[in-house]
Structure 1
Amino acid sequence: MRFRPTLFSLLLALLAATSSIAAEPNAAQIMSDQTVVFLRIADTQDYVKKLDQTAIGRAASDPQMQPFVNGIWQTLKQSVADAEERSGISLEELLSIPQGELAIGVVAMQEGNPGVVILCELGEDTRVTEKVLDLLETVATNDGATIERNKFKNSEITLIRGKNGPLAVCIHEHTLLASNRIEALEDMLDHWDGKREDSLAADDRFRTIVSSSRGTKDEPAQMIWYLNPMETLRTIVKNQSGGGYIMAFMPVLGLDGVKAVGGSTILAAEDFDTISHFHVMLERPRTGIIEIIQMKNASTEPEAWVPDDITNYMTMNWDVDKSYNAVEKLYDNILGEDKFEEDIKNRINQPTGIDFKTEIIDNLEGKFTLVQWYEPPARINSQATLFAAKVKDRAAMQRTLDHLVDALPRLKNLVERRNFGDATFFQLQVANGPIPDDISDERRKRMETRRSLRPLPCFGLIGDFVFFADRPGIVEHIALTLGGDTPRLADDLSFKLTMNRLLEQAGERKVAMVSFSRPEEGLRMFYDLIQADSTRNFIKGQAEENNFFSNLEGNLNANPLPEFKVISKYLAPQGSIMIDDETGLHMIQFSLKRDSD
């Protein structure tokens, strides 16, 4: 038997697979403050229960959805049937392993590779885990690995030394501990009481992340994650040539000012379906790249051209002048005084005949908006995206765009000027060569599919915004909204409700960005895509040579999706805000709770 993956990666994969569906001892109190990456689910069983209470969980439990869900589960079961038979361990048994806290961390070590550690509470019955560990030992021994047994703190540590590195495992007080560094595992056992002074839980950066990532009514998070980016990078490059130069360059870029990144997930809160936090802890004063982040208070009022059937909407206000000056300062610090202005002049102004600072930067008001919309009919690339920036003088910006197209012959030959309602834009023209008559039908279909999936970028002006879009369909849809009676997002009651709830969370803090999304619109495209002939033909073609697709085809035919309204009734709008405060950038995202009745 050939042993390809590392023993540790195999065990990690088995446990990580369960973490997506999911306190004593508290892993953050046991692990040291040298932990640079950390993920913790407080209670996997509670996580599963909470997940069942969310919109997705309730939709999956709907009687009309059960046949389809069971069909997908059977597809997975059939795909791993051979592995189950060889190992004697079923998929259900693997998924039952975590019974409480589950944590994964990466610890910076004084020498050698970092220690990746796993802590997984097993409950009273540890037989399945013991069976998995016996299997790992058998596989490793067959591949020439050596097995050592060591006693530490009244626990037996099994150390497997294989060709691809060591793996230390033990079961201590009904908790599985595993690591690629036995020193990291012993350190956890040495501080099992959770009273260590140098714990991750006592680290100011970690505490800031956790304290800012609780629920709207101070509910604790079911899952938290944490990353110390600079220490993670230092751990990765410390034994590599040039690692010292990389770390020395970080302060020049100002990236050493990113102290920590982390967040949380809270499920089935009293008023919300889900709440997510994302926090970037920044040092003050901000320098380098971090200084370029110059957000201002963002308006929550959507532009008049935003339709109400969008899938995603985001807008932010930015101090363009301050950001431009920060870019110039950083560029000159690296390449020399006045180098930024010189390169703008030589690389942009002279080739195009425009003044980039005066005609572009100074004409931007600072409001930037992103809109996404699913363009019918459903296909893999149905999602269209438009990015827009508000300008102070539309006529001046139009003259600048016209001049740019005329001044760049290669661009002029590739685009066509178009007008649609209030939108004036340039669209990329893609010349398709003839498809040879003597090619096979299969190759012809592939060529036609590739052509249909190619974007058709366009750029121009609509209202007081200069925009770039990946296809003209979204431009036309937006133009019809601006100039006609198409329902607008600004008038949508669910949007207003979501924004009101978000602003309640912000309080007096500066809101730098707001976003809104409709998950049911994305689901509608998914429904249409699954049932499209092109998708079924693809699955059918793959089923001839692939057991997974063969099983999938059979189960989809036997258990078709119910009507769209069966699941869409559970989904509610989602929104988010970004707050720029003294600790850094903090994003709060939530989805409302909808009564399916």
Structure 2
Amino acid sequence: MRQCFRKIQVLAILVTLWMAHATVGVATAQEVATGRLTAPKLFPEKTLAYLRVDDVKQLREDLSNSMMGKLGNDEQLKPILMEFYGSFVRATERMQDVFGLNLDEVLSIPNGELAIALLPKDRGIGKLVRNDDGDRVRIQSDRPAVVLLLDAGAEITSVQILLKRMDESIDPEMAHTEKEVDRLTLHRYAHPNRRDQQFAYFIDNGVMVASSDSELVEQLAGAWITQQPEWKTLSENRKFTSIMSRSVGTEGERPQISFYADPMAIVREFLPRDASGAMVKAVLPALGLDGIEAVGGSSIIGPPDFDSITHMHLLLSSPRRAVLSLVRPKSGATAPEAWVPDTVASYMTLNWDWSSTVEGVERLYNQFRGEDALQQQVFERMNERLGLDVRKDILENLEGRVTMLQGFVRPVRINSGSNVYAIRLKNPEYFKNNVLPKLLESIPERVEVQSETYGELKVNVVLVGRAERFAKDGPIRRPEICIAMIDDYVVISDSRYMMQQLASRVNGSVGKLSDSLEYQLISDRISAQLQDKECSGISFARPEETLQLFYELARDPKNRERLKGMAGGNPFFQSLVNALEKQELPPFSVISKYLAPSGGFLVEEETGLHYMTFSLRRD
């Protein structure tokens, strides 16, 4: 069922991209209008969380020019997407009755900047008053607030229709008042007896600014008119600017989508004001979690030489304490091992300082449970059950590198996706002769364990679940936990198929991933970004492999029947079933010609951890 759901997600993405293209047509990029504040220069410095699209209209155009956008506009694929979208629109006709607009009209509303943010009780922009000591202080609200900036442009009339429908359907006790602030008209809806039920907005030149706090909207309106907020803004937040500076394109391109959050500030904001809340606040520093300063990143569509780039940055204080001291990626070799075949759908490897992580876990555990508690309460119990010294035989034998592969077992099943995990060891011979046999002996007797040989590879196969539960032609394959030693690695897979693929590479009958052209293209891009510096980990993927699985599932009549059973009263699933029944999917070659490999890398920096992923553009 999980694979079926993923297939539906992919089709939904294709539909969305096609819709975006159809809506935009030949629209050109829209620059931010001069003379008005953008969200980072309007929202306050203390913003808790933030999501922004720089220009929705331009984003639609960039998406339509991306590989997935072109895929969605292919003449052989468009009929099924049109059928799906048309069926979905018909299935959501009630939207017109509720909102006064149909689905197309709602989707066409954003035409410029779109931003939404969560603000704390102490927004940093409250009115100044004098306290008992005569000092000027800001009034703090009694609850967090949500604020929205929406540039609808010429579609502002659709927004006004939505607002009118809201006005007609709102609780009769909600009072609607208007206030003039210079050229702006502030609309406020508030329940006389419930302070948490209020909403306010103003509209200016096709832009709507709205919030769940009416006083906040009035203050934003003042800043909107003067173009000079009286408070520090998000654009002056050091944590925000630090993350955004690491989230631009390879040649400094501005991201179309950006996001930011202050996790610890959010936790503190929503903690109850009681003893339990006070206790949690006290524990956060003890755990070192207050060292998580912020998280953020961006998405860039269509930069030079790429189809897309995504940045993720975790901003951490230094030095890292307690829990954060356990986060120990390290630089190291990332080229695919010689035994990794070029047939895999994806590859990822990570270097980690396991000894420091184990020491940190022990230090933290003992801090709360007592001296030597981890050894006595955890390790000794495991040692007794397994007949091993877990710390010496396993943990101290970890070299630090972990590699993960994925492939797809044929014939296609819902759980055809198969994973391989490879852990590099300092002393593989000791593990093979002294540790692995004891681990296999600890497997319950009722579980079937077989010893098999694939070429030069000796494999222990643990069959999970009762065989009669997995029909030969059923929708779910029986998991097969395969364990083998390859070079310095203990390798674990959940299918014989993937272990046989590795054996083929060991025997030399298939090529190495590191020699494949697709991997070399990704590797060259990663090296260019790192400027020949080492990183902690990299990833590589062939999206056509994953999409082909969804494609085959979509063509499978049995799977379509299962999808019908899922549809029920869900308009999305019903529309998907209708589209698949009325239109024939084109050959997979029509889809695969638009897809190019993707990759990514993880680096540890002075400010924290940075992860960048990208996909190439197929010419």
Same fold (TM over 0.5): yes
Q: With structure 1 as the length reference, what TM-score do the two structures score?
A: 0.88
The answer to whether the 8 Å contact 1:427/1:472 transfers is: no
Moved more, 352-361 or 302-311: 302-311
| TM-aligned CA deviation for residue 173 of structure 1 | 3.6
The residue that corresponds to 1:119 in the other structure is 149
The residue that corresponds to 2:158 in the other structure is 128
Tell me: CA distance 1:194–1:38, structure 2 relative to 1, closer, same or farther (3 Å): farther
The residue that corresponds to 2:242 in the other structure is 208
- Taking every aligned residue pair, what percent have the same amino acid on both sides? 30
The residue that corresponds to 1:267 in the other structure is 301
The residue that corresponds to 1:13 in the other structure is none
The answer to whether the 8 Å contact 1:416/1:429 transfers is: no
Q: Distance in 2 between matches of 1:557 and 1:241?
A: 59
Q: Distance in 1 between matches of 2:545 and 2:264?
A: 39
| 2:173 counterpart of 1:138 | no
Counterparts of 1:130-279 in structure 2 under 5 Å? 130-141=160-171, 145-161=174-190, 165-192=197-224, 193=227, 195-239=229-273, 242-279=276-313
| TM-aligned CA deviation for residue 59 of structure 1 | 0.9
| TM-aligned CA deviation for residue 122 of structure 1 | 1.6
The residue that corresponds to 2:540 in the other structure is 516
Moved more, 115-124 or 464-473: 464-473
Moved more, 116-125 or 55-64: 116-125
Counterparts of 1:61-76 in structure 2 under 5 Å? 61-76=73-88
| TM-aligned CA deviation for residue 109 of structure 1 | 1.1
In structure 1, stretches of 5+ residues that fail to align are: 1-16, 436-444
| TM-aligned CA deviation for residue 522 of structure 1 | 0.8
Q: Distance in 2 between matches of 1:432 and 1:474?
A: 20
The residue that corresponds to 2:465 in the other structure is 430
Q: Secondary structure at the match of 1:570?
A: coil
| TM-aligned CA deviation for residue 559 of structure 1 | 2.1
Q: Distance in 2 between matches of 1:469 and 1:561?
A: 33
The answer to whether the 8 Å contact 2:422/2:489 transfers is: yes
Q: Distance in 2 between matches of 1:240 and 1:74?
A: 53
The residue that corresponds to 1:405 in the other structure is 440
Number of residues paired by the alignment? 564
C-alpha RMSD of matched pairs (Å): 2.6
| TM-aligned CA deviation for residue 553 of structure 1 | 3.1
Q: Distance in 2 between matches of 1:113 and 1:396?
A: 60
Select the residue among 391, 405, 411 that pairs with 1:377: 411
In structure 2, stretches of 5+ residues that fail to align are: 1-15, 25-31, 123-140
Q: With structure 2 as the length reference, what TM-score do the two structures score?
A: 0.85
The residue that corresponds to 1:51 in the other structure is 63
The residue that corresponds to 1:498 in the other structure is 522
Per-residue deviation, residues 441-494 of structure 1 (Å, max 9, x unmatched): xxxx9x9957x2564444443332123333333223222222231232111111
Q: Secondary structure at the match of 1:272?
A: coil
| TM-aligned CA deviation for residue 32 of structure 1 | 0.6
| TM-aligned CA deviation for residue 160 of structure 1 | 2.8
| TM-aligned CA deviation for residue 195 of structure 1 | 4.7
Per-residue deviation, residues 141-176 of structure 1 (Å, max 9, x unmatched): 46x543333344543233334688322232134211
Q: Distance in 2 between matches of 1:344 and 1:89?
A: 60
The residue that corresponds to 2:447 in the other structure is 414
Per-residue deviation, residues 188-232 of structure 1 (Å, max 9, x unmatched): 223322555511110110000110111001111111100111101
The answer to whether the 8 Å contact 1:298/1:315 transfers is: no
Q: Distance in 1 between matches of 2:499 and 2:440?
A: 19
Q: Secondary structure at the match of 1:295?
A: coil
The answer to whether the 8 Å contact 2:84/2:575 transfers is: no
Q: Secondary structure at the match of 1:233?
A: helix
Q: Distance in 2 between matches of 1:361 and 1:405?
A: 18
Q: Distance in 1 between matches of 2:238 and 2:250?
A: 22
Select the residue among 332, 352, 356 that pairs with 2:366: 332
| TM-aligned CA deviation for residue 541 of structure 1 | 4.3
Q: Distance in 2 between matches of 1:240 and 1:138?
A: 40
Counterparts of 1:456-471 in structure 2 under 5 Å? 456-471=480-495
Per-residue deviation, residues 321-367 of structure 1 (Å, max 9, x unmatched): 22222222222222223222223443212222211121101211111
The residue that corresponds to 2:394 in the other structure is 360
Q: Secondary structure at the match of 1:230?
A: helix
The answer to whether the 8 Å contact 1:255/1:289 transfers is: yes
The answer to whether the 8 Å contact 1:159/1:166 transfers is: yes
Moved more, 233-242 or 380-389: 233-242
Per-residue deviation, residues 489-520 of structure 1 (Å, max 9, x unmatched): 11111101111111111125441111101111
Partner amino acid, structure 2, of 1:147: H
Q: Secondary structure at the match of 1:296?
A: coil
Q: Distance in 2 between matches of 1:518 and 1:292?
A: 32
